[in-house]
Chain A
Amino acid sequence: MSAVVEFEDVVAVTGSFPVLTGVDVSVNEGEIVLVRGENGAGKTSFLRACAGLLRVSAGSARVLGFDMRVDRRTPRRYIGLLGHENNLYRDLWAKEHVEFRAAAGGGPKSDAEAALAKVGFPSTLWSVPISALSAGQRRKVAIASVIATRPRLWLLDEPHAALDAESRTNLNSVLREAASAGATVVFASHESALSKELSSRVITLQGGRVAGDSGAS
């Protein structure tokens, strides 16, 4: 299996604060990797560095074969990012939003309905403004937006947040299905039981570097 994320001694800085202080990690295609750690351990920064949103100051960082120190933009077309925030346009309807994200990601708009159905978002709410949805429903729209872009690398920050029990289980199924189809999933979560059940590997971050890796040889 080819490596999708290859970080060697990666350092990243936000302002003047080092958020990643020498991350060494390699994630292979088809893996589902849980990134865990205390608050401020660098989980979100790691995901953002993988997405090319956080500049790598030192070390070697390759994502999907692209050198992130040379080109951070091109690999994004193959990456789906779900952050802490949902990245939703509150005045668009749920379906319009997913259609826009699908089209902006280079995919067909027709993927939107299938993506919304996949996360269990009821069709009766497709034409409702996002501002009128509950927190859990918004999270589902955000997840559907990622699904609709058909990413090869999924980067998810607390994906289970705000979801009810059934939706969390459903999300795990969606992620397993994506991984079995060849996509790679890297997610950060504090939901221990649910996340361990989903993941095939656990990486623990501490102080901006890898403190433990269940998949390390």
Chain B
Amino acid sequence: MLAEVLLLARKDLRIEWRAKVALGQVAPLTLLIVVIFAFALDANAPLLELGAGGLYWVAILYGGTLLTQRSFELETEDGNFDGFRMSSMKVHSLFLGKALALFVQICLLEIVLGPAILLFYDVQVANWALLVTAGVAGTMAFSVCGVLWGVMAAGLRVRTTLLPLLLVPVLAPVLLAGSRAFETALGVRADAGWSWTSLMFVISAVHTVVGLGAFGFLLEES
């Protein structure tokens, strides 16, 4: 199964590398959001510092949703959804392969956004281990949720508008937990950052189990 997962993820990442949508369009756009927040709240530096974690995850939510849409656009253009469904790869491999490719792309997005937050919002990292672990946990949760809800919308004509509508409410707990964990990691809140991080791992695990169980059905019925 691992070979199939890697085959699919490699294909998605190769296409993204060529098309440069993630790094060439989505990353600059999310970067712009971070900068706009910095301009908008510039007069209130303490507020910007307090809200840095939340604003980071709002930007990731926006960019990640675009990447999820893009991930399933690949499978729907030129009738590719039929090819995707006709593949003899295991359904679990399809789910995990798409999730892995999305995970890598969102990680790249975070690598671009992270330094921007530190620079523009003038915050210091108090706990690197928590920051990185929370980032990984949130990205995992985002990836599996994105693929699960992405395939649900993939076969529909209204998928472009429907996917954010489905995905954003589902990702609200990840946004909340990620923001709290980052606030602790950035030293602006003495809170249980590790507990919030654990919650994101739990969300990832739950959606992975649901995804592994439901992806085949959703693939056929969407």
Interface residues of A (CB under 8 A from B): 51, 53, 55, 72-73, 76-77, 79, 81, 83-92, 96, 100-101, 103-106, 129, 145, 149
Interface residues of B (CB under 8 A from A): 4, 7-8, 11, 14-15, 18-19, 74, 77-80, 82-83, 85-89, 91, 216, 220
Q: Enumerate chain B residues within 8 angstroms of A53, measured Cβ to Cβ.
A: 82, 85-86
Q: Indicate if the CB atoms of B88 and A76 lie closer than 8 Å.
A: yes
For residue A103, which residue of chain B has the nearest CB? B7
Q: Indicate if the CB atoms of B79 and A129 lie closer than 8 Å.
A: no
List 13 contacting pairs A-B, 8 Å CB cutoff, sorted by A: A51-B86, A55-B220, A73-B91, A81-B82, A85-B79, A85-B82, A86-B79, A89-B11, A89-B74, A90-B78, A92-B11, A100-B11, A145-B83
CB distance from A51 to the nearest CB of B (A): 7
Q: Indicate if the CB atoms of B88 and A100 lie closer than 8 Å.
A: no
A21 to B216, alpha carbons, bound, how many Å?
Answer: 27
Q: Indicate if the CB atoms of A72 and B220 lie closer than 8 Å.
A: yes
Q: Indicate if the CB atoms of B18 and A129 lie closer than 8 Å.
A: yes
A103 to B3, alpha carbons, bound, how many Å?
Answer: 10
CB distance from A56 to the nearest CB of B (A): 13
A84 to B78, alpha carbons, bound, how many Å?
Answer: 9
A205 to B85, alpha carbons, bound, how many Å?
Answer: 26
Q: Enumerate chain A residues within 8 angstroms of B86, measured Cβ to Cβ.
A: 51, 53, 76, 79, 81
Q: Indicate if the CB atoms of A87 and B88 lie closer than 8 Å.
A: no
For residue A100, which residue of chain B has the nearest CB? B11
For residue A80, which residue of chain B has the nearest CB? B86
Q: Indicate if the CB atoms of B77 and A90 lie closer than 8 Å.
A: yes
A44 to B134, alpha carbons, bound, how many Å?
Answer: 49
Q: Indicate if the CB atoms of B88 and A77 lie closer than 8 Å.
A: yes
CB distance from B216 to the nearest CB of A (A): 7
Q: Enumerate chain B residues within 8 angstroms of A92, measured Cβ to Cβ.
A: 11, 14-15, 18
For residue A97, which residue of chain B has the nearest CB? B11
